[in-house]
Structures are given as structure tokens and as C-alpha cells.
Structure 1
Amino acid sequence: MTKDQAKEHRWFWHNGFLSCDLLSQWHHGFFTRDYAPQTPQALHKYFGDFGASRAYHAKQVHGDRIVNTSDFSGDYLPEADGVFTSDPNTSVWACSADCVPILIGDRSLGTVAAIHSGWRGTAKGILGKAIAKFIESGSDLSNLVTALGPAISGTSYQVQTDVADQVLTTIKNPVGVFPDATLGHCRLDLRLVQQQQLLELGLTISQIAIAPYCTFQTPEHFFSYRRNCLENSIKSSPQIHPQIQWSGIASVERSN
């Protein structure tokens, strides 16, 4: 996180989940491991009685596809890593366990999206596709706000250099990559890269917030896929239940 970014926005705990003042006009939350294994359909009740009839989430595949809630039918889950809605009082969700959960809203239209972005989604430009979805739906870039939730930090995320190279091709100003003692590897801060992607798309620093939490370094609050792999490297049996946390946001009526 940059010093300027740290000064911009406040994050706070509410009923055991994390919220950001940048998204204060929406019911939203970055939930913790304490809520596992509850699903979005159960979790959105913690937002209070705001009339949401359904919570939507996709079958995440580490890609760059963004779907609308109108693409859902019955119990069918489309393969995608982002869900967008313009339907009032509808919540959309993404799950993560080191990858970055991203919640986006339009302050004028009330439309929202929930995005899951690991290094593959970041390299494929899923954030740019999400912003394009808003623009196609009538948003003005100046009305968008984006919160990058708890995820693995650069100090804890060791990757091969070719992975970092793929991610860095998406930005003009290279940021978020740091040296590592292991040959052929480096440290990668996905949220700094994503912040730079958003800045180069035309958002300002005041429209972006980064959560001050690392999933790897905060086991009391968050699951971490990488930490779990290290802790269970000598175990022969896999986890019965997926260790993930959900992040969601509910759309609101268009402002006058």
C-alpha cells in the first residue's frame, strides 16, 4: 500500500466483517474465516433488511469474464470471475483465499460488481473489463469507486519471474514487484499492480482503497491458500471443506 493510499480511506470492522468508507453508500462486506462455511445466500442477511431477494456468485475459474445477474438461471452458475448488476437491492459476491476480492460501485447509478482476481486474472486484465462493463452500462468514470480487499501481500507472495512479467505487461509504469533471494523468483504485490491498472484506466487515487490486511499474515481473520499449503504439506488428506472467505456488495437505487 502506498503512503498516499493509506491516508485516503478508512477501513473498519462491523459485526465481524470488514467494510470501507469509500463504499459507505452500499451494504457491503469483506467477510472473514469466522463466517465459513456460510454461502452468499446466507451471508447477505448480515447486511440487514434491505429487500435483496437473491445473492449472486459465479463459478470462479481464474479468468477474465464478467457476467450480469441476468445471465443466471435457476441454480446454474456461469463460469466467470466477476458478477455485475444494475438491479436494485441485489447482492453480488466473490470468494478468495489469497487472491484479491474487489468490490466496485457507481455512486450515481448505484450499480455494483464483485470481482475475483489472482495473478492470472490480473494478467488478463479483468479489472479493465469490469470498468468497461460499467461504462457500457452508462457509468461515468468519475463516479466509480473501488475497494481492493484483504489478499496476500507482496512481502508474502513469492512467484516465478515469468509470472510477474505477465502481470507487468498490463501496466505502463511497473510497480509491485520486489526482489527475492531465490533465483528466478520475485515478490509480487497484486494490489499495487491493480491500483496502477485502475490509475492508468483513468481513475484517481481517491477512487481506490486498499485493505490494510494480508491474508497470509493474518490467520486469526483470514484463510490463506498459500499458508494452508505450507501448513499441510506433510498431510496426505485434502481439506474436506474449501477454506475461502466471501466478499459482497448490494446495489442501491439510482440517485436523483
Structure 2
Amino acid sequence: MHSWHWRTWEGLPYLTCSLLEPWHHGFFTQQFSPSTPFELTKVLHPEASVYRLKQVHGNTVLTPQEIVTKLTAGGDEVDREGDSALVSGDGLVTHQPLQAVWVATADCTPVLIADEKTAQVAAVHAGWRGTALKIVPQAITRMQAQGSKLEDLRIAMGPAIAGEVYQVSEQVAAEVGNTIIPHNDEKLIVAALHELPNSPLLPDPEPGRVRLDVRRVNALQMEQLGISPEQVAIAPYCTYQTPEHFFSYRREMQKKVQWSGIVSYDF
């Protein structure tokens, strides 16, 4: 089993995963709010350049180089937030050493991916919508295009809302489940998901509703790509049920986030 460790920086707690040990990385808690990735990168590696996106619950995965190109070109994909300009997307894959890539989450899954051989890394924001659009496989495909082999990847899924407390409609469950059980019949997909070993679905007392484990669906998507379960770690923390450490949109109905980031290795 992969272990998760609490670290502190100036007395504030954040999580790391043993699977990603060679890389500077962290799943940061609400205690770091309102720090931005620019401030948080100093915790991980002060010399790294910093990249984040305007997250839109899609499946666009970009490299820092592509961000710079899009910012230079301007256009619809660029969103101005105060003094800064952000490009829309939900996944970042590095293409050089010492690049820090970040995603923000409140109940969605932060996914950090590292390659033992090429040392490139990725940060992915995978909510149910992004998962239904297979954003993690998309990020892995981008890494493969840059020389990664599946067996060299190490993947950590950080704190997110747990299936036992995440009520969704059967329609949403079918949309997400369609990525692992392709079919055009919603009821059939939901029934087949229930039959899976360690099912990503749990029953819900309300008719037409189920409980959905989004991280489990992402793990199944990766298995279908040929990634072994030993290459994947899932944090034993639920954002909804751990109010002392994590913001939860479901719990608070407020737009607050925590950041997760990783720095590409400088071999």
C-alpha cells in the first residue's frame, strides 16, 4: 500500500504521497487559503516556474508552452482575472524541468501524475464532468505523446468527496459510467456499474439517485488503459467529511478551493 504523509510548512498542514516521493509535490489544505500557486510553489521549489489554468470542467490538457502561446495570441480562450490572464483548461503537462503545475479543487479530484523515466509531470482537475470526458486518460495520452510509457507513470489522486456521501442522479452516474461501460442505455450502465467488484456506485434511498465514487471511476479508466493498480494511490480523505482540513462545495456551497501541485524533476 502507498502511504500518505502529513507535512507542515510554517505550521500549516499539507499532504504528500509516497508514490510521488522523488518529486516536490503537495495536496494543500484550506489552512493555506488564500495563498495562490505563486506563493505555494515557494513551499515546493522556489526556483520552479508556475502554471495554472482557468478550470472549466472540461478535458482540455495543455503544456506551459501552449499556455504562453495562447496568452500571446489572446482570443476567447483567455480569461482576465484581476491583474492576471488565464487560459481555459483542466489539465497541465510539463515539457521542461522545474515547471510547477497546479489545480484547484473543492470536492473534485486533484490528480498528480509523474513519469519515473522522463521526469515530466501532470496536474489534472477531475470532477464528474471531466471524468465523463476522460480527462485523466487525455492527460496520459499527452504524456505518451511526449515520450512517456504507461509502466513508468505514478499517479496520486488527492482528497475529494467520497462516494458514500456524493449523491448524484442516475443520469450523471450513467454519463460517467459510460467511460468504462460504453452503452446507450442509462439503466443498463447503472446496473452494470453496480455489478462491478469494488463498485464505484453505492445505493441511495432516494429514487433515481445513487452515490458515486468519482475517484474509483478514474482508477477504472486507468486500469482500462493498462495501468496497474500498484501505480495508483488514492488519498484516504474526503473533503466533505474532513471540515478541519478541506473546503467542500457540497458542504458549504461557497466557492472556496484548495490547491494541489507538482514540480517536474531536474535530473
TM superposition score normalised by structure 1? 0.89
2:57 is aligned with 1:57:
no
Alignment equivalent of 2:6, drawn from 6, 9, 13: 13
Letter in 2 for 1:251: S
| 1:71-90 correspondence runs (5 A) | 71-73=66-68, 75-90=84-99
How far, CA to CA, are the matches of 2:32 and 2:145 in structure 1? 35
Shift of 1:100: 0.3
Taking the aligned partners of 1:71 and 1:121, their CA distance within structure 2 comes to: 20
Q: 1:25 aligns with which of 22, 26, 34?
A: 22
Find the aligned partners of 1:167 and 1:177 in 2 and give their Cα distance.
11
Return the letter of the residue paired with 1:243: K
Report the Cα offset of residue 128 of structure 1: 1.0
Give the counterpart letter for 2:210 in structure 1.
Answer: C
Q: Residues 60-109 of structure 1, C-alpha deviation per residue, up to 9 Å, x if partnerless?
A: 00000001000223643211000110210110000000000000010111
**Paired position in structure 2 for 1:202:** 226
Q: Distance in 2 between matches of 1:78 and 1:111?
A: 21
**Residue in 1 that maps onto 2:265:** 252
Residue of structure 2 in register with 1:232 after alignment: none
**Contact 2:104–2:257, Cα closer than 8 Å, also in 1:** yes
CA contact (8 A) 2:110 2:124 kept: yes
Q: Distance in 2 between matches of 1:103 and 1:48?
A: 16
Taking the aligned partners of 2:160 and 2:87, their CA distance within structure 1 comes to 24
Q: Secondary structure at the match of 1:19?
A: strand
Q: Is the 8 A contact 1:66 1:84 kept in 2?
A: yes
Alignment of 1:208-227 (within 5 A): 208-227=232-251
Distance 2:114 2:133 in 1: 21
Q: C-alpha separation between the residues in 2 aligned to 1:219 and 1:112?
A: 29
Indicate if the aligned counterparts of 1:142 and 1:203 stay in contact, CA closer than 8 A.
Answer: yes
1:191 aligns with 2:241: no
Query: Per the alignment, in what secondary structure is the counterpart of residue 187 of structure 1?
Result: strand
* Structure 1 gaps, min length 5: 1-7, 230-238
The Cα of 1:43 is off from its aligned counterpart by 0.3
Aligned position for 2:200? 176
Contact 1:71/1:78, CA 8 A, preserved across alignment: no
TM-score scaled to structure 2, two decimals?
0.85
Q: What is the rounded CA distance, in whole Å, between the counterparts of 1:119 and 1:48 in structure 2?
A: 31
Partner of 1:110: 119
**Which residue of the other structure, out of 89, 94, 110, is the alignment partner of 2:103?**
94
In 2, distance between residues paired with 1:76 and 1:206?
Answer: 39
- Identify the residue that residue 233 of structure 1 maps to in structure 2: none
Contact 1:86 1:110 in 2 (8 A): no
CA–CA separation in structure 2 for the residues paired with 1:252 and 1:162: 41
Aligned pair count?
234
1:36 to 21, 33, 36: 33
The CA distance in 2 between the partners of 1:197 and 1:212, in whole Å, is 20
How far apart are the structure 2 equivalents of 1:208 and 1:81?
20
Q: CA deviation at 1:48?
A: 4.3
1:219 counterpart letter in structure 2:
P
Distance 2:45 2:20 in 1: 16
Q: Is the 8 A contact 1:19 1:29 kept in 2?
A: yes
1:47 paired to 2:44: yes
